[in-house]
Structure 1
Amino acid sequence: MDERRVTQTCFPGRYIQGPDALGKIPSVVGAFGGKALMIADPFVADHVLPEVKHFFSGAELVIEKFGGECTDAEIKRLADTGSEAGCNSVIGFGGGKTLDTSKAVSFYMKSPVVIVPTLASTDAPCSARAVIYTESGEVVRYLDLPRNPDVVLLDTKLIVKAPVRFLISGIGDALSTWFEAESCMAKGAANSTCGAGHQHPGSMTSYALAKLCYDTLKEYGVLAVSSAKSKACTPAFEKIVEANTLLSGLGFESGGLGAAHAIHNGLSELSECHKFMHGEKVAFGVLAGLFFTDKGKDVIDEVYTLCESVGLPTTLADLGISEVTDEKLEIVAKRTCVEEETIHNELKPGVVDSVIQAIRAADSEGRRRKGSK
């Protein structure tokens, strides 16, 4: 079999979203056999659960507070707890590392997993991957799972209470989805299903969903950010939560990644960027990617306008890099172009000098539009 001729598209088993969606937990847990291990991050355990526990009436839950880091030891502790309690499913309730830990725990328990994000800041909740860390926070490995989460559930009344920066960062992450999937489609490059090593391209469904993600951001992004600033759970807010989470999740995993995420990884090498969120760095990676892939003026203007309108970075200074040097750009570009990076899914060769020129051009355009030198 030639994997390059066999498309592969992955989805979560069920996606549930809306105000008071937490009320679906008892029926979801019941369908999986009755008792669930709920892994709650510390903030959720201390501040959110007391306010939402009425939604769980009738559900048999074993609630464990997440230790703070997605390590092998923490995964084993929680899996042992769930197995000893006779739990039939796992619920992850909280932020990214809590959700990754829950995916891993369910894998070792051989049980279904329900993912309940409290933010709409990335597209990771729908994916079949967990990142495993050391106790001090260094990445150990990626755990590629045999299936996507059984249920992804977002209660938008809860999510709208989060600081608006998280939603904006999610827009930045989702902004990359179509441009990267489009590049993979043009080249016939492998998508991100099943982890590293496979060669399956995406399907027309995944590319269409990636395009819908971009169209939704353009149409509703500004309105959703305005709504979030007022803690108003409007239709526009609902659409952007879905775009950030489901459409972007399906688009990146089944469509594929490209220059934007590779440039993000390069920017993450600079200490100045460490305090910025994933989607904020990805957004600048999108802008640099537009120049790298030679997009036209109208597209470039459209994307910059969206970034400016919602508050995403458009210059290196916006990412804390006030002094741009050849040495820093070379560090970013070399990391961007390592052999295993997704920039090689682009039609254009991923070489260091081309990346440096694209980053310089993106920064220059951002500064021009701001009226700065």
Structure 2
Amino acid sequence: MSARTLISPGRYVQGRGALSRLGEYLAQLGSAPLVVADDVVWGFAGHDVEASLRAADLPVRREGFGGMPTAGEVDRLVSVIRAWEADVVLAVGGGSTIDAVKAAGFLAGTRWATCPTVASTDAPCSALSVIYTEDGGFSEYRFFPRNPDLVLVDSQVVANAPAEFLVAGVGDALATWLEARATAQSGSATMAGGAPTVAGTALAQLSWDVLWDNAVAAVDAVRDHQVTPAVERVIEANTLLSGLGFESGGLAAAHAVHNGLTAVAATHGLAHGQKVNLGSLTQLVLEGAPRSDIREFVEFTTQLGLPTTLTETGLRTDDPDTLRTVADAATAPGETIHAMPFEVRSEDVFAALVSVERLARRIRADAKLPEPVPHQAHGS
């Protein structure tokens, strides 16, 4: 049996105004940083980043981001890091920027740090990157020998972003416990390269509990760009607890279904956490979870604005070929769905996906929740 393993970032910092201390913490990692941020992020965060770095007597050198963590974009960033002779590279932005920077930092042989401006994924803390194809499909996971040296989250910056980002992060983080408990049952290896620890599994469950208690209040507060205790807890659950929980607790069906969804153009334009939420519901169906558990999950995540039907991800039950493409990709060799405590075949995922539509619609109707709105993919 594999040794039990727990991995984590070197330092995690979170709070309102934390960006003002970025230079202080970054100076402990290197003297020649390179900041990677797209133009939109730099427009609202660049001034504070520059001020903090200058206060710590660090040079301000910023490189743009191409928008997608593809192999080509990672290689481009490696060349920039080497050209600047940077000794630490910092990602400022969302999960795509962060994944590209972690992969580039590893290949360039430098240290890396993350400064998420949204709490929409658990990418900031992990020692892996999700790499996509040029057209937005899942390509591969890349694993690294260490986590980021620093994760710094300014809660006010997160609260200033559209609330939909926080909602997507909740969708991603809710899957953490569902997948960790499945991994614990099966005894499969985690993304950390070993058997799950009690601590990793417990952190995954804590993420779930915090979100059920605080997510609705936090989303309401962020719609008014306010930082409340509920917002702080949800940021931590989405970023730290989910980050540690998924990596050291394990991934299973929910993220595999997400990866399958990226294989079809109809879902493009949806956030990572939106697709993961449909994956979580699909996993519950695959497990034969009690109807009460499924009902509560559908009602809770629908109220938050997360998709719980195929319709909301651009898919249809009368398009079996597309659904089979999703199911085949979700069950490909090496996919995390094989960490479930029972065998899952492509036809099982197909059946679960089809059943989700009618099941979720019935639950939503009984709870007097809104009818699903069809998702329109980019370019459609």
TM-score by length of 1: 0.90
Q: Report the more deviating stretch, 297-306 or 69-78.
A: 69-78
Which of residues 10, 14, 18 in structure 2 aligns to 1:13? Answer: 10
CA distance in 1, matches of 2:259, 2:296: 24
2:81 match: 79
Does residue 295 in structure 1 map to residue 294 in structure 2?
A: no
CA distance in 2, matches of 1:134, 1:298: 38
User: What's the offset of the Cα at 1:101?
Assistant: 3.1
User: What's the offset of the Cα at 1:36?
Assistant: 1.9
User: What's the offset of the Cα at 1:364?
Assistant: 1.5
1:203 match: 197
CA distance in 1, matches of 2:342, 2:133: 36
Q: State the one-letter code of the partner of 1:202.
A: P
Would you say the 8 A contact 1:42–1:65 is kept in 2? no
CA distance in 2, matches of 1:355, 1:130: 25
Unaligned runs of 5+ in 1: 195-199
CA distance in 2, matches of 1:215, 1:141: 30
CA distance in 2, matches of 1:142, 1:366: 31
User: What's the offset of the Cα at 1:367?
Assistant: 0.7
Would you say the 8 A contact 1:258–1:344 is kept in 2? yes
CA distance in 2, matches of 1:91, 1:45: 13
Identity %: 36
CA distance in 2, matches of 1:296, 1:101: 39
CA distance in 1, matches of 2:201, 2:171: 18
2:60 match: 62
Distance change in 2, residues 1:169/1:80 (3 Å): same
Does residue 48 in structure 1 map to residue 45 in structure 2?
A: yes
User: What's the offset of the Cα at 1:211?
Assistant: 0.3
1:146 match: 145
2:323 match: 329
Would you say the 8 A contact 2:257–2:330 is kept in 1? yes
1:197 match: none
Q: Report the more deviating stretch, 176-185 or 64-73.
A: 64-73
CA distance in 2, matches of 1:317, 1:292: 19
CA distance in 2, matches of 1:133, 1:201: 27
Q: State the one-letter code of the partner of 1:76.
A: V
Q: Deviations over 1:2-22 (max 9, x none)?
A: xx2411111001110110001
Where in structure 2 are the equivalents of 1:326-365 lying within 5 Å?
326-365=320-359
Q: State the one-letter code of the partner of 1:261.
A: H
Q: Report the more deviating stretch, 155-164 or 104-113.
A: 104-113
Would you say the 8 A contact 1:18–1:238 is kept in 2? yes
Would you say the 8 A contact 2:163–2:222 is kept in 1? yes
CA distance in 2, matches of 1:295, 1:134: 34
2:208 match: 214
Q: Deviations over 1:309-367 (max 9, x none)?
A: 21111111111224533323222222222222111111221112222222223222211
* Paired positions, count: 362
Q: State the one-letter code of the partner of 2:29.
A: F
CA distance in 1, matches of 2:15, 2:91: 18
Does residue 190 in structure 1 map to residue 192 in structure 2?
A: no
The root-mean-square deviation of aligned C-alpha atoms, in Å, is 2.2
Q: Deviations over 1:37-88 (max 9, x none)?
A: 22222222334313554333422133222241542441232222331xxx43
Q: State the one-letter code of the partner of 2:101.
A: S
CA distance in 2, matches of 1:112, 1:76: 12
Q: Name the SS of the counterpart of 1:75 in structure 2.
A: helix
Which of residues 15, 23, 33 in structure 2 aligns to 1:36? Answer: 33
Q: State the one-letter code of the partner of 1:7.
A: R
Q: Report the more deviating stretch, 45-54 or 334-343.
A: 45-54
Q: Deviations over 1:152-204 (max 9, x none)?
A: 0000111111111111111111111001100000010110125xxxxx21100
Would you say the 8 A contact 1:41–1:95 is kept in 2? no
User: What's the offset of the Cα at 1:95?
Assistant: 2.3
Q: State the one-letter code of the partner of 2:271.
A: M
CA distance in 2, matches of 1:108, 1:365: 46
Q: State the one-letter code of the partner of 1:158.
A: V
User: What's the offset of the Cα at 1:274?
Assistant: 1.2
